[in-house]
Amino acid sequence: MDNITTSLNEQTETIEESESELTEQAEVVLNHRYYLKDIDGEVIENNFKLFRRVAKAISSIEKGYKILPVEATLLEKDFYSMLSNLEFIPNSPTLMNAGTEQGTLSACFVLPLEDSMEDIMKTAHDIAMVQKYGGGTGFALSKLRPKGDRIKTTHGIACGPIAVLRTLSQVSSMITQGGKRDGANMAIMAISHPDIEEFISCKAVEGDIHNFNISVGVDTKFMEAVKNNTSYPLVNPNTKQITKWIDAREIFSKIVDGAWRNGEPGMIFLDRVNKDNVIIDTHGEMIATNPCGEQPLLSNESCNLGSINLAKFYIDTEGNWQNKIDWDNLKRVTASATHFLDNVIDANKYATKDIEEMTKATRKIGLGVMGFADLLIQLRIPYDTKLAREVGESLMQFIREEADIYSRHLANLRGVYPSGEDKDEYRNACRMTVAPTGTISMIAGCSSGIEPTFALVWKKANILEGKTLYYSNKYFEEDAKEHGFYSEDLMEYLSKGNSLQDRDEVPQWVKEVYITSPEISPEAHVLMQSAFQKSVDSGISKTINFPNEATREDVQEAYLLAWETGCKGITVYRAGSREKEVLVKGTDKKEEPIVCCDSPNIVEESGCETCKSCGWSLCHVA
Cα–Cα distance between 464 and 618 in angstroms, integer?
Answer: 7
Which one of 56-60, 438-442, 615-619 scores highest in mean pLDDT?
A: 56-60
Cβ-count burial of 161 within 10 angstroms (0-12 exposed, 13-18 middle, 19+ buried)? buried
Q: What is the mean pLDDT of residues 559-576?
A: 94
Q: What is the mean pLDDT of residues 1-18?
A: 49
> Per-residue pLDDT tens for 215-252?
999 999 999 999 999 999 999 999 999 999 999 999 99
Share of the chain above pLDDT 90, in %: 73
pLDDT at 571 over 80: yes
DSSP designation for 145: P
Pairing of strands 468-472, 457-461: antiparallel
pLDDT for 462: 47
Cβ-based neighbours of 66, under 8 Å, separated by 6 or more: none
Whole-angstrom Cα Rg for the chain: 24
pLDDT for 151: 80
Cα–Cα distance between 435 and 92 in angstroms, integer?
Answer: 12
pLDDT at 604 over 50: no
Half-sphere exposure of residue 508: CA atoms within 13 angstroms, side-chain side: 0
pLDDT at 267 over 70: yes
Higher pLDDT among residues 544 and 178, named by residue: 544
DSSP designation for 603: E
Q: What is the mean pLDDT of residues 103-124?
A: 93
Out of 108, 202, 292, 303, the active site residue is 292
Out of 290, 304, 348, 462, the active site residue is 290
Least confident residue range of 47-56, 166-175, 460-469, 576-585 = 460-469
> Per-residue pLDDT tens for 531-567?
999 999 999 999 999 999 999 999 999 999 999 999 9
SS3 sequence of 462-507: CCCCCCEEEEECHHHHHHHHHCCCCCHHHHHHHHCCCCHHHCCCCC
Q: Are 398 and 559 in contact (CB under 8 A)?
A: no
Taking all residues of the chain, what is their mean pLDDT, rounded to a whole number? 88
| Amino acid identity at 347 | A
Model pTM above 0.85:
yes
pLDDT for 207: 80
Please name the fold of domain 108-296.
Answer: Anaerobic Ribonucleotide-triphosphate Reductase Large Chain (3.20.70)
pLDDT at 522 over 80: yes
Q: Are 82 and 88 in contact (CB under 8 A)?
A: yes
Out of 62, 264, 294, 402, the active site residue is 294
290 is catalytic: yes
